[in-house]
Structure 1
Amino acid sequence: MDQDFYDAVDLFAGPGGWDVAARSLGLRTRGIEKDHAACQTRRAAGLPTYEGDVRDFDPIEFLGVPGFIASPPCQTFSVAGKGAGRKALDLVLIGIKSLEARQAVDTSAFIDERTALILEPLRWMLAVLDVGQPFEWAAFEQVPTALPVWEAVAGVLRREGYSVVTGNLDAVEFGAPQTRSRAILIARRSGVAALPEPTHRPFRKGGAQHAGEPELLPWVSMAEALGWPPGLVGFPRLADPGAQVITIGGTDYRARDLRHADQPSFTVTEKARSWQRWPSTDGDAEPVRVTVEEAAALQSFPAGHPWTGSRSKVFQQVGNAIPPVLARAILTAATSS
């Protein structure tokens, strides 16, 4: 394949969170993505793309590419999902041992086939390493519940000569106007792998924006990022008896489902298509539905990113992506000399 002109291959590339960040750093990437709508978005954004299932590509065809990025699907590991990945954690760890021993993985044991996709990054790295042309650096991302998988993968990569670090990072600590924790792995053939240092203060419920670590910038609120007036944002549900409530126009809603616009948002997922905001909370307040462009801004995508597909497909793309500001910090740590 025509890999000689780019710096990294991006598995499960989605609409381009990693790639937008890489481009801002002068890194050329080529993504592999199965979802057709996400591929259309990528192409409209000028991001080189192979459309297809990563399992159908031969890693050997990518020899000589120095960098490797992967964000395998997280639905089965997500706290919000049914948890097939968490229940199958033992099977995943067995699969990692099989790959290290250069043995085939029996994916038929997984109830949800998507769970096995988290093994693909290690399979790719070992495949190119075994022919003597390893990736020089790698960066992986998943939901926090997948951190034990990255830790097990890190053990394999260390035994293969990589310096590796793992941990959870929150996008709000890198300038995104949302709280979004993700499990990260960075591996390097040369130098010492290290997670990026936060640039912004962590968001603490009830904590003041300008209080805390003086060497860090204040966290960014939804209002700052989007120019919203004071008000509330979220998916309103009527309050249960005894629950903490927020009253809007005389109606009590569950407080845990709403945040003030002068705070970072909840983690943006595809369910953000149902988010509403109230510019005020008095009796005349009328909710306004959060738009795709606003959700993308909460993810830190640049204005004008050319989202393509149906409304539900676009919100799915936005929710599944890594925030570019977080990706930029991770890529800088992975590639800095």
Structure 2
Amino acid sequence: MQQLSLPLALPDPEPIKAIWFQEMLQFFGISQCPAWPDRFGLSLHNWLIEQGHSPIKTLSLFSGGGGLDIAFHDAGFDIVLMVELEAKYVQTLKKNSMPGAWLANSKPICIDIREFFPSSDFTVDFIIGGPPCQTFSAAGRRASGVAGISDSRGALFQEYVRLLKTLQPKGFLFENVYGLTGAQKGEAWQEIQNAFQDSGYTIHSRVLDAADYGVPQHRERLFIIGIRKGNYLFPYPTHGPDSPGQEPFYSAGAAVEGADISDAEEGIRGRYGHLLKDIPPGLNYSFYTEEMGHPNPVFSWRSKFSDFLYKADPQMPVRTIKAQGGQYTGPFSWENRRFTVSELKRLQTIPDNYEIVGNQQICIEQIGNSVPPQLGRILALSILEQVMGIKLPFAMPYLPPTKQLGFRQRKRQLTEVYAQKAKAAISNILITKQLTSTSSSRYVNEGKAVRFLSIDFAWNEKEVPDSLKININYNLSNTSWMIIGETGESRKEEYQYIIDICPACGYEDWVLSTNTIKLCAVNLDKRLFTGLWKSFEEKLAEITGMADLVQLSGYYQYPARISGIMTFHSQLKIEPFWRVVQCVVRGIGVANQLSAKRLALLWGVSTDNVFSYLQSLRGMGYEVRNHNTNPQIPKGEYLIPYAFPTLTPKSVQLRKKLG
């Protein structure tokens, strides 16, 4: 019989180790049922007590709702003090520090870390915590950069350093968003590293994805481990393609099984709530964009945050749970509703028996701000073994310093998978004729309406205090839309100006089944100008289903998809400010951060008058930004994102001032 020649087996530079996650569960007698992280934490804590290990005195800073505290408490760290500024979060810490509760015998205090000065006899072995991360967050980057350590919240790490120098523990864990490493062109990250090293610590840092460590949620965070002596390596993932044995991810569907849904509400309310139903699990608002192939796009590509109308996929970990968000901020359940607080706790691996105090929004804040305990437990175990010298009952493999994890690459691959899911879902909708046609029969040939524009830029059908009454005449056809507005009771013969709107060059195939739009003003009135754009936006939503003018034009960091030209009556004497408005409608000085001097040159006006003109534009509903409204914008520069007014009563910018 012929013998087969086997290829020579070369040594693997990174030998496949035993499936250590399975070994851990087997040691504690735990099966992978829903809420297994809770049982793992309890079993680990009880085993350490049985072994008689001396508790490791630990100080918790910026404790929030207690995510890291749960993790380190379970791994044998004695949380002797929890420092938290927010009184509403301290209530949760107190509740769970009572006898018999998860963090029994821990002591929370409500104090600003800048006012926390421990007594001379206060000693600890370890410090954990991560300062507020908003100044390094994705939201900050979206608003033209991040403030980083120049913001008072970003500088709180200095208080962390002060306490390290004062207390000199054996080590510390510092957690923050991964955007910290790129803030201020890397200068903030370098300053933070230098400060920790100058305090006497060797630091080791990695960006980790919580899903790689048994959390049913993709959540990328930066972790810094600082130690005074010895060496430290981060643990290998327990789950996913980078884990030894490639243990499957802990899916969202498995995690929430059996969780309390008694307070679940059916669907989500509001203008866009009905859209959630058709979005395939794993996708978000982008399902309703032209780029995804939707025949009736509602939104423009990348015009919303990625969690806007994001529906979780039960077969995968969810995307990051946000601490704060709007009405349409996901993740939403694949059952087309909001997750309950109990389900969100499961997705964050916060124990079922850990009571979060507060109303629903305060509970969500605490969940979204916390470090997932299961990720924290694995890090705590690695510190327990390497820094504290405690032998673990199972082998924990550690990542070589040069080992790269693949979660970023997998994220890009997953985007392609969901794009295919979107294509299939849209094909199915078309086949079953569930989409509503935007044929010409939906167009109103002629019509009149009365609207009221309030001082906060609400567009109302009924009169409200201090609102402006605007008479609107519509003349809509397949070739052109004409929207005429006036503020008086009597009709004048001629228009004071006309704004012609058409697709920008390269975007001729727009969603409107008409060639041009004309906004015609009978009166030269600033608020009527705003009202005309509101009228256009109203008809846009009514006829196409598109959300607003931003979705038609596109997010401001991309080339505008519409173009506007404002033409005044030939005999009208035009003030300089209206010439500025004319330039802005044309897109001149728009969508770029520009100095007052540069704007003056573009608009042909005096530099001294630019600020007052910008103030007037805000008074017309334009979203004008500067350093006062968005600290990320350099002083002396201004940003007008769009060529048309966009402020509404819900706009964050409405409550800010230019100066």
Please state which band the TM-score falls in when normalised by the shorter chain. 0.7 to 0.9
Give TM-score, length-normalised by structure 1: 0.75
1:113 offset after TM fit, Å? 2.3
More displaced 10-residue stretch of structure 1: 75-84 or 215-224: 75-84
- What CA distance in whole angstroms lies between the structure 1 residues aligned with 2:361 and 2:155? 25
Q: Name the Cα RMSD after superposition.
A: 3.1
Alpha-carbon distance in 1 for matches of 2:315, 2:161: 41
Aligned equivalents of 2:235, 2:285: Cα separation in 1: 35
Cα distance in structure 1, aligned partners of 2:375 and 2:190: 20
Per-residue Cα deviation, 1:204-258 (whole angstroms, up to 9, x for no partner):
xxxxxxxx75524211110111128xx836765771222366x9xx999999633
Cα 1:84–1:19 change in 2 (3 A) is farther
Question: 1:252-281: per-residue Cα shift (whole Å, max 9, x none)?
Answer: 9999633421111010112478543234xx
| Residue in structure 2 matching 1:181, options 217, 220, 241 | 220
Q: After superposition, where does 1:5-44 map in structure 2 within 5 Å?
A: 7-29=57-79, 30-44=81-95
Mapped partners of 1:216, 1:115: distance in 2:
37
Distance in 1 of aligned mates of 2:180 and 2:212:
20
In the other structure, the counterpart of 1:258 is 311
Report the residue type matching 1:187 in the other structure. G
Matched letter for residue 210 of structure 2: A
Deviation of 1:82 after TM superposition, in Å, equals 6.1
Counterpart residue number, 1:77: 136
| Structure showing greater relative contact order (alpha-carbon pairs closer than 8 Å, 6 or more residues apart) | 1
1:1-337 counterparts in 2 under 5 A? 7-29=57-79, 30-46=81-97, 47=103, 48-59=107-118, 61=120, 63-81=122-140, 87-89=146-148, 92=149, 110=150, 112-128=151-167, 134-147=168-181, 149=188, 152-201=191-240, 215-227=245-257, 232=281, 239-243=288-292, 257-271=310-324, 274-275=329-330, 276-279=332-335, 287-336=336-385, 337=389
State the distance in 2 between where 1:214 and 1:330 align.
Answer: 17
Q: What per-residue deviation string (whole Å, max 9, x for no partner) do you get for residues 19-49 of structure 1? A: 1111211211121111112111111112420
Give the secondary-structure state (helix, strand or coil) at the position aligned to 1:304. Answer: coil
**Change in 2 beyond 3 A, CA 1:155/1:335:** farther
1:136-173 deviation digits (Å, cap 9, x = unpaired):
11000000011355554334444554232011011001
The change in CA–CA distance for 1:169 and 1:62 in structure 2 (over 3 A counts) is farther
Q: Secondary structure of the residue that 1:260 maps to in structure 2?
A: coil
Supply the AA of the counterpart residue of 1:55.
R
Q: Please, which moves more after superposition, 294-303 or 77-86?
A: 77-86
CA offsets, 1:93-138, max 9 Å, x none? xxxxxxxxxxxxxxxxx4x42222232211221233xxxxx11110
Residue type at the aligned position of 2:376: A
Distance 1:213 1:156 in 2: 33
Q: 1:235 to 1:77 in 2, by over 3 A?
A: same
Structure-1 separation of matches of 2:370 and 2:349: 10
CA distance in 2, matches of 1:156, 1:135: 16
Q: Indicate if the aligned counterparts of 1:77 and 1:85 stay in contact, CA closer than 8 A.
A: no
Q: CA deviation at 1:307?
A: 1.0
Instruction: Say whether the 8 Å CA contact 2:136–2:147 is kept in structure 1.
Output: no
Q: Is the 8 A contact 2:349 2:374 kept in 1?
A: yes
The separation in 2 between residues aligned to 1:318 and 1:196, in whole angstroms, is: 24
- The gaps in structure 1 that reach 5 residues or longer are 93-109, 129-133, 203-211, 280-286
SS in 1 for 2:83: strand
Whose radius of gyration is greater, 1 or 2? 2
The 3-state SS of whatever aligns with 2:174 is strand
Whole-angstrom CA distance in 2 between matches of 1:197 and 1:62: 38
Q: 1:77 to 1:278 in 2, by over 3 A?
A: same
1:178-215 deviation digits (Å, cap 9, x = unpaired)? 1001011001122212222211115xxxxxxxxx7552
User: Measured at CA, do residues 158 and 193 of structure 1 come closer, stay the same or move farther in structure 2, by a change above 3 Å?
Assistant: farther
- Structure 2: how far apart are the matches of 1:317 and 1:233? 24
Is the Cα contact below 8 Å between 1:15 and 1:39 reproduced in 2? yes
Aligned length: 287
Aligned to 1:205: none
Distance in 1 (CA, whole Å) between partners of 2:211 and 2:121 is 34
